[in-house]
Amino acid sequence: MKQVLAALINAAPATMNLPSAAGFTPLRVAAGGGSPAAVCFLLNAGADPSIGRPTEAGLVYLAPKMMRHSDGTDVVDPVLDMGSDRVQWARAQANAQRWEEEVEWLKVEIQRARKYFHFYADIWSHMVCLEPRTRIDVGGNAFCRKKSAMFMRLARQLDNIKLIWASKSLGESRPYW
């Protein structure tokens, strides 16, 4: 990749900071695509982060996306040295950590709900009268089976949920449980 970028920059150095029709420079495309190596290479080659379509929060808010890569930390100092606001960086990093905590909380909550549904499905199935003697017993059994089936259906729905998230290593994703 570095050879391709170097060849493109050597062939047409003016294009390094030239925005596309949509207003994105190669640096912003590399940052938005989560390519820390390309961002570092372009910054070292003289790419200007202030050129191109301005994002709401600036280039630094794309850094958490790059931080999920093993070489993402190499981007932090060059981006900050190129004039990005350190306060913006701290906010972006805090947001990324908060989102990761929220994902962890959701995983725990889903596990808790699965256990809850399985528990109540078992409770309702054990309330079924094995030898109904009256019509009330038959109706009660129907109600207990219906409630048990409802909780089992809810538990199965949670069992079938697969949350996919991007892990910190490049290109790896894995199911939640």
Range in 11-25, 72-86, 124-138, 163-177 with the lowest mean pLDDT: 163-177
Q: What is the average pLDDT across 28-49?
A: 75
| Token digits of residue 39 | 């961002």
Give the pLDDT score at 81.
Answer: 56
Give the pLDDT score at 71.
Answer: 60
Number of other residues whose CB lies within 10 A of the CB of residue 83: 12
Point out the domain boundary residue: 42, 59, 84.
84
Query: 112-120, long-range: CB within 8 Å, 24+ apart, which pairs?
Result: 113/158, 114/155, 114/158, 114/159, 117/151, 117/152, 117/154, 117/155, 117/158, 118/151, 118/152, 118/155, 120/147, 120/151
Which helix (DSSP H) or strand (DSSP E) does residue 107 occupy? helix 86-126
Whether 37 and 108 share a structural domain? no
What residues does 173 pair with on adjacent strands? 166
Top pLDDT among 71 and 151 is at 151
pLDDT digits (tens, 9 = 90+) for 87-104: 677 777 788 889 889 988
Give the pLDDT score at 3.
Answer: 78
Give the pLDDT score at 15.
Answer: 76
Q: How far apart are CA 23 and CA 77, in angstroms?
A: 25
Residue 48 near residue 37, CB atoms below 8 Å? no
Give the pLDDT score at 123.
Answer: 96
Point out the domain boundary residue: 34, 49, 84.
84
- Please check whether residue 39 lies inside any domain of the structure: yes
Q: Which residues constitute the domain of residue 22?
A: 2-84
Give the pLDDT score at 72.
Answer: 58
Place of tokens 């409630």: 147
Which of the residue ranges 80-94, 112-126, 147-161 has the most confident prediction, judged by mean pLDDT? Answer: 112-126
Q: How far apart are CA 71 and CA 173, in angstroms?
A: 18
Give the pLDDT score at 161.
Answer: 74
3-state secondary structure of 165: strand
- Please check whether residue 122 lies inside any domain of the structure: yes
Whether 13 and 80 share a structural domain? yes
Give the pLDDT score at 177.
Answer: 44
Q: What's the CATH number where 27 sits? A: 1.25.40.20
3-state secondary structure of 139: helix
